Structure 1
Amino acid sequence: MSLVADQVLRLDAQLDRIPFIQLTGYDTTQAPIDFNSPRVKDLLRVIKALSATSGSQNVLSASQIQSLLSQSKLLPDNGEYTSASHYEAELEWRLVSKATVQTYGIVLDTLLDRIIPLSDHIWYWDDVLSSPTYSSLYMVQTSPVRLWAWSKEVYVDSKSRFQQYTTSSASANAESIQAGITQRWGRFYRIVRETIRERSLINIQRKIMSPVAICRSEARGKQAKLKKLREITSSGLGVLIDEALDFGGNGNEDGKSDIMVSDEQEWKGVVEKSICLMDMVLKDALTLDVGISDFEDRVFTGVEEDPELSNLNGENESDRAALIARRLQELLGTHLPEHVRTADRLVAENGRPSRLVRYWLPATALLLSSTTILRIFVNRKQEILDWIRDFGVTVRDFWFNWVVDPVRKVIGTIRHDSNSEIAIMSRDSLNADRESLERMVVDFALDKPNAATGAPSVSESQVAEIRAKVREGDVTPILRAYEKDLRSPLKGTVRGDLVRTLLIQVQKTKVDIEVAMSGIDSLLKSQELVFGFVGLTPGILVSVSVFQYLRGALGGRRSFRETRKSGKCVRVLRNIDRILTEARSPSNTLLPYKDHGLIVCEVHVLRRLAHNLLPADIEKDFLEDLDDLANFKGIQSQSRALSRIHWAYSKWLR
């Protein structure tokens, strides 16, 4: 529900709480009230149709309100209608009051819809003025429009001069009718040249200033008009929110209304003045040649001096209601559409150029090069098809080789698939080499017991001990024989013992290397799942990145939109804080109408942005704080509400 809908619902509820005071003291000499008469039923039906509900359509359209006013027969085609009783007159007042509340909602919506887009146009001119590049681009974009406007002015001026020349020549000399076409065209050509020269002298500024400087000056002027339009419209919005339809309190402890219960005519005067106020705001909100204070003075002065409002005091209840209905019909049918047309015209004249003006250069370049582009596509059709086919094959191979296969290997690792185990050496290689080393050492010890053990023979227990030590990496018998042969290497070489011990040590080195490799192999097997995920990570990262890009480019951008909404919410809160900071001063406790209107616009935008960003229960509290921020309670109260919004909802709005 929007801010305007909440306002309409609140005002409609206040109207429903106003009691029928005159019926309490009803005069028995008058005609009795017929509650079942067709007139009463029609009025009750229209009142019910004009009442705001808690649904999605609190504010009716202008055509619906006009239709309901016509159905109420308060605007008869022939003559005036007079109510038969006070009850009917009271119902008519309730009807026009509810129609006024609905019209009030339409006017607020109209002003909000005109104020909010102005920021985009102002930001566009900021971009143009902030960069010489953008200023030059704007000059190029608007050059055809400038040329057309200048040519049109020259043509109109030359045509007017030529017609004056023809008229004067015809009256002075009848023979001018027989003048040749060539002479007439020559005269027209000379008039055009004179017009161009005179306009060049008039627009001497264009010769002094560069085209870019002229464009910047034009952009600065348009931006100033848009800012003035936003300020005046915001001031009008603030005036309507603060002054229109102010019925007083919301209710007392008895459940009854405390809205002007002492004077039954006072709330009717509020309705009448509110209509005048809306009418004056719509008429004067687009006057850009006055200041904000002058605009506000003109609005309030116009309400006080309104001739119809001053004449209503002498009318009876039914005639007053009929006049109010007629004025509402005129406001909805004439003043409001005229305001919308004028506002749209001002925005079109001073806002950013249309898409046709901004993009005519690339569109023209694309149109002129379309045949060349088409010819390139036709001539390179086969290459383009091959490129597309290769791209598809590359994508498929990447998917299977870097995503599917690594996933399959990880699954195999988790399931202890023997085919997927990591191994840098065969399983039985270490055992075979170790057994071979044992046999070599034992055979050497048996063949050379004296060199190996220092004894003439080797027993079975010594052989078993040698085998056990070899398994632990101890080849002391070989080293002892090797050290002995090194004393006489030539003799050991000839005898063969030195070479044999060297070869056994080579086998020992091989076994040591395989033991080290076995340790590394065991370490790799213990971390096999980690390596599987490491191999899968590049493919997953690339796939996720491509998926996110395609998701953002082709649709499904919910999270991205939420991020953008959060960023916009922060900007809106910054604008509200800036408005409150600039308006805060020791002498001012209440916001001016202009600043209040701007805050209402920002709150209206914030309500739309924050919808669906916050949980349902949190959103209710958020809307309450926004109402405190938008209400006319004082700068201090609004600043505290803004601070509360900052710390309470930063989790969702940051």
Structure 2
Amino acid sequence: MSFVVDQIRRIDSQLDRLQLSGLPSSVESYSASALAEGSHDTAESSRIENLQSLIKSLSTTSSARYPLSSPSRIEDILQQASLFTSDASYEHDLEWLLVSKATVQVYGAILNTILESTIPLSDDLYYWDDILGSYRYTALYSIQTSPSRIWEWGKDVYTDVRKRGHGRGLKGFREDGGEGIRQGWRQFYGLVREVVREKNLVDVRRRIVGPVALIRGEVKAKQAGLRRVRTMNANALGVLLGEGLGNESMHGEGLASPANKYATHDEHPHRWKGSIARSIALMEAVLVKVSDPELSVDKFDAAIAEMTDEDPYYELYSTDGEQTVSSPKPMEAAGRLRKLLQTLLPEYQTTSSALVREHGKPSRLIRYWLPVAVALISSTTVLRIIVNRKAEILTWIRELGTTIIDFWSNWVVEPTKRVIGTIRHDESSEVSIMSKRSLEGDRASLERMVVDFAVDNPEGARPLNESEIASIRAAVKEGDLTPVLKAYERDLAHPFTGTVRGNLIRALLIQIQKTKVDVEVAMGGIDALLKSQELVFGFVGLTPGVLVTVAVWRWLSSTLGSRRGSARGRKHGQMVRELRNIDRILSNSRPTEFGELYYKDQGLLLCEVHVLRQTAEQVLPAQLYREFLEEVQDLVDIRTGVQRQLKVVERMRWAYAKWF
């Protein structure tokens, strides 16, 4: 929703209040007269219903999504109304109300058209600033526009040749040659050489200046032309807002019929008709003068005042509400509205487009003809390379796809499955470096080996009883191998004898088994530690695949244009730039004696505020945006004065610093 829509809805609500407060008395009088006559004209009733339906279709509340009607739709509604002078007061008021609704829509269409024609000019001015700010860009612009300059130079040469050849072109010289085609060509090229030589003599000064300086002069001329168009459009916007229906709805009683709130409906009952008539005359004058290429910016306001002073519609009612001239008919007002829509508004659009084409930045064809030409020239070479290496390219694409799929499966999907299995205590996913029953079996074997050794080699003459054997088993579980170590120490004193006749080898093998059990106990501790950190190891295994995937995704997103973050940053930067432009307009303006902006500065301010508002709608949250609109309304209210508007800008700067 834009500032224009707000203006139109505000004015339309004034008309709706007028319809509710002023017209019912007419309805009652009309119905009473019909009942007194004892009959009701069906045709008149049908016409009244038709007018009411058309009025409703022109209301801004009829379509919340598209509150502004198109010019063609407004024309169709005015055509369907078949307005004519009527003696019935209620029917006459309905016709005027229909014309008023149509005028509001036309007013919105003109404001919107001028606004949309003015806002893009800032981008063109920034483009020319970039061209002037760098000699490299100036040289590039010279190369880009060289074909068009050569074409214009050739047209000038050919035009001069035709003038000197008495209107004969190339075909004329070929047919009129005295000695045939050769003589005709000789005459033609002789004139061409003469014209080129004269042009070279005329352009001596320009060649002395230099090509870069000539290009910069051309760019400055285009920039000045764009600034003039932008200023004229801004002045037109300011006049329409300051003198048109927007001013009527914002000041005093607006479009209300009574001159003051204590007046009856019989006092100045048609003041709103004067407001509508003045707005029609003003819109016509603005469209005529803003499309005049000969009119200077400084004389725009005076030209508008001169044209409206001569228009009877503009002085229909005096400032105190008294009628000064005969009231226009609804049919006449509708005719002038159709003229605005059919002639003046299209003429403005055509003139504005022509000026933008003349002074705006070059078209895409001119700016990009060089890379396009290079691409077309090299396309055959590229196609030849592709055809000759088709098999290699297909193999490379296939292998690339296989690599991507394997990477995704082995380094992302499988580690993710293992992490999920660890979280769910899946036994198949547990980290383990030894079998579960290995330690128990080796420890039981060691216990049996030590007990058997002790039974076979008791210290005394008597065999071991059950309590002693149980004690040895308990000692072995604690890691005590005393019976084996005593025999080992005894046999180690005489190794050869102990090996042949003793138990040295047996004791040594039992100690090896003990060492194996100790190693397994240590490995069991490490295994328990790994199991306690199994989830950490799972995420460590998943991290490389995830990091590579995220990095590739971000690279692809930035490369393929999905730059949501950078786009948001550009919007923030645009908001800062628009706020800076608004502050600059208010600071550099010369207020009137009442402390208000002139129409030109008001129009420029409206353009910047419109862009700021549209950008803020995409950046700010909904609740914050509604508060932001209150600041915007205070900012565009010229009645508060420049100083208060500057305070609003300062408040917006610190209140929305996070979003700027």
Report the TM-score, using the length of structure 2 for normalisation. Answer: 0.78
Q: Could you list the per-position Cα deviations for residues 29-56 of structure 1 after superposition, in whole angstroms to 9, with x for gaps in the alignment?
A: xx97898563655554543443332522
1:493, distance to aligned residue in structure 2 (A): 8.2
Distance 1:135 1:475 in 2: 96
SS at match of 1:316: coil
Please state whether the residue corresponding to 1:426 is helix, strand or coil.
coil
Listed as ranges, the matches of 1:462-481 within 5 Å are 471-472=477-478
The one-letter amino acid of 1:242's match is G
For 1:256 and 1:615, the matched residues in 2 are separated by: 41
Q: Give, as a single letter, the amino acid of the residue that structure 2 aligns with 1:356.
A: L
**Amino acid of the residue matched to residue 358 of structure 1?**
R
Alignment of 1:351-500 (within 5 A): 351-432=360-441, 434=443, 471-472=477-478
Alpha-carbon contact 1:225-1:288 (below 8 Å) kept: no
Partner deviation per Cα, 1:265-296 (whole Å, 9 max, x = no partner): 54333323322332233233356777654433
Separation of aligned partners in 1, 2:168 and 2:485: 131
Q: Structure 1 271/165 Cα, relative in aligned 2: closer, same or farther at 3 Å?
A: closer
Cα distance 1:598–1:440, how it changes in 2: closer, same or farther (>3 A)? farther
Question: How big is each residue's C-alpha offset from its partner over 1:42-82, in whole Å with a ceiling of 9 and x where there is no partner?
Answer: 554543443332522322221222233334445xxxxxx64
How far off is 1:154 after superposition?
1.1
Taking a change above 3 Å as real, the CA distance of residues 404 and 304 of structure 1, as seen in their structure-2 partners, is same
Question: Aligned-pair RMSD on alpha carbons?
Answer: 4.5
Tell me the distance in 2 between the aligned counterparts of 1:292 and 1:449.
127
1:372/1:248 CA distance change after superposition, 3 Å? closer
- Does residue 1:583 correspond to 2:589, yes or no? no
* Shift in Å, 1:334: 1.2
Distance change in 2, residues 1:102/1:465 (3 Å)? same
Structure 1 residues 194, 224: closer, same or farther in 2, change over 3 A? same
Q: CA deviation at 1:442?
A: 7.3
Correspondence list, 1:31-50, <5 A: 38=44, 43-50=51-58
Q: 1:481-500: per-residue Cα shift (whole Å, max 9, x none)? A: 99999xxx997688669999
Aligned residue identity for 2:277: E
Contact 2:583 2:646 in 1 (8 A): yes
| 2:366 aligned partner, one-letter code | V
Q: Deviations over 1:150-186 (max 9, x none)?
A: 11111111221222799xxx9xxxxx98465434432
% same residue: 46
Tell me how far apart the structure 1 counterparts of residues 589 and 232 of structure 2 sit (CA, whole Å).
Answer: 25
Deviations 1:210-236 (A, max 9, x none): 444433333333233223322331232
Q: Distance in 1 between matches of 2:532 and 2:359?
A: 73
Q: Does 1:298 align with 2:303?
A: yes
Structure 2 equivalent of residue 156 of structure 1: 159
1:61 matched residue in structure 2: 70
Structure 1 equivalent of residue 320 of structure 2: none
Output the CA distance in 2 between the equivalents of 1:580 and 1:158. Answer: 55
Aligned to 1:247: 248
Taking the aligned partners of 1:368 and 1:259, their CA distance within structure 2 comes to 77
Structure-to-structure mapping, 1:258-297, within 5 angstroms = 263-285=268-290, 292-297=297-302
| Cα distance in 2 for residues equivalent to 1:590 and 1:224 | 27
- Deviation of 1:241 after TM superposition, in Å, equals 1.8
* 1:341, distance to aligned residue in structure 2 (A): 0.6
Question: What are the within-5 Å matches in structure 2 for residues 534-553 of structure 1?
Answer: 534-543=540-549
Residue deviations 1:524-583 (CA, integer Å, cap 9, x gap): 11121222232223334444555667778889x6xx558735742552354134413551
- Name the residue aligned to 2:147: 144
Amino acid at match of 2:608: E
User: Aligned equivalents of 2:97 and 2:283: distance in 1?
Assistant: 19
1:340 aligns with 2:349: yes
Cα separation, partners in 2 of 1:433 and 1:88, compared to 1, 3 Å: closer
Contact 1:18 1:259 in 2 (8 A): no
| CA distance in structure 2 between the partners assigned to 1:591 and 1:480 by the alignment | 113
Q: 1:598 aligns with which of 604, 609, 632?
A: 604
2:358 paired residue number: 349
Partners of 2:69 and 2:105 within 8 A in 1: yes
| CA-CA distance at 1:597 after TM superposition | 2.4
Equivalent residue number for residue 325 of structure 1: 334
Offset of residue 621 of structure 1: 4.2
Moved more, 344-353 or 427-436: 427-436
The residue type equivalent to 1:526 in the other structure is S
One-letter amino acid of the counterpart of residue 97, structure 1: S
Residue aligning to 2:132: 129
SS at match of 2:199: helix
| Alignment of 1:101 onto 2:111 | no
What does residue 187 of structure 1 align with? 187
1:214 corresponding residue in structure 2 = 214
Distance 1:457 1:287, change over 3 A: farther
**TM-score (norm. length: structure 1):** 0.79
Separation in 2 of the partners of 1:533 and 1:279?
74
CA contact (8 A) 1:5 1:58 kept: yes
Please state if 1:224 is matched with 2:229.
Answer: no
CA-CA distance at 1:195 after TM superposition: 1.4
Q: Distance in 2 between matches of 1:457 and 1:363?
A: 110
Task: Report if the CA contact (8 A) 2:2-2:613 is conserved.
Answer: yes
CA contact (8 A) 2:316 2:327 kept: no
CA separation of 1:634/1:500 partners in 2, compared to 1, >3 Å: closer, same or farther? farther
AA aligned to 1:403 is V
d(CA) in 1 for partners of 2:203 and 2:462?
A: 128
Greater shift after overlay, 218-227 or 582-591? 582-591
Contact 2:26 2:90 in 1 (8 A): no
CA distances 1:311-342 after superposition (whole Å, capped 9, x unpaired) = 897753244x4443332222221111111011
- Cα gap change, 1:478/1:598 in structure 2, threshold over 3 Å: closer, same or farther? farther
* Aligned equivalents of 1:177, 1:413: Cα separation in 2: 99
* Structure-1 separation of matches of 2:23 and 2:453: 133
Cα distance in 1 for residues equivalent to 2:112 and 2:71: 11
Q: Secondary structure at the match of 1:352?
A: coil
SS in 1 for 2:361: coil
In the aligned structure 1, how far is the partner of 2:564 from the partner of 2:512?
Answer: 71
